[in-house]
Structure formats: C-alpha cells, structure tokens
C-alpha cells in the first residue's frame, strides 16, 4: 500500500497468509523545468514484494 513502511507491509502479508520470496525496487522519476529545459530526476523508489502462500 502507498505510504506504509516495509515492516507494515511484511506484517500485512503475514496476516493474509503470505511470506515474501523476492523484493524488487524500481526508481521513480519526475520531470522538472529548469531554465526552460525539462530534466528528468529521480524522486524516490517503489518497493514491491513477491509473496507465496504459506
């Protein structure tokens, strides 16, 4: 879920009967205008866990 910590995510997965088997991170970018030019900068990351049923 958005705006939850990694611990909260793992606890939610455990409550739903899943355990993490893989963690994937993807960078998140944003476009910024500077001096009339559009520059793409990293602004964060998205963490996704792959889970399997217990």
Residue matched to tokens 């995510």 = 9
Domain regions of the chain by residue span: 6-53
Q: What's the confidence (pLDDT) of residue 3?
A: 86
Q: What pTM value is reported for the model? A: 0.70
Q: What's the confidence (pLDDT) of residue 39?
A: 93
Average pLDDT value for residue range 34-40: 92
pLDDT-derived band at 2 (thresholds 50, 70, 90) equals confident
Run of H or E residues at 6: helix 6-15
Query: Quick check: 43 and 28 in contact, CB under 8 A?
Result: yes
């Amino acid at each position: 879920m958005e705006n939850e910590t990694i611990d909260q995510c793992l606890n939610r997965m455990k409550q739903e009967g899943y355990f993490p088997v893989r963690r994937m991170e993807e960078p998140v970018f944003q476009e910024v205008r500077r001096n009339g030019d559009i520059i793409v900068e990293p602004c964060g990351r998205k963490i996704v866990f792959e889970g399997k049923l217990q």
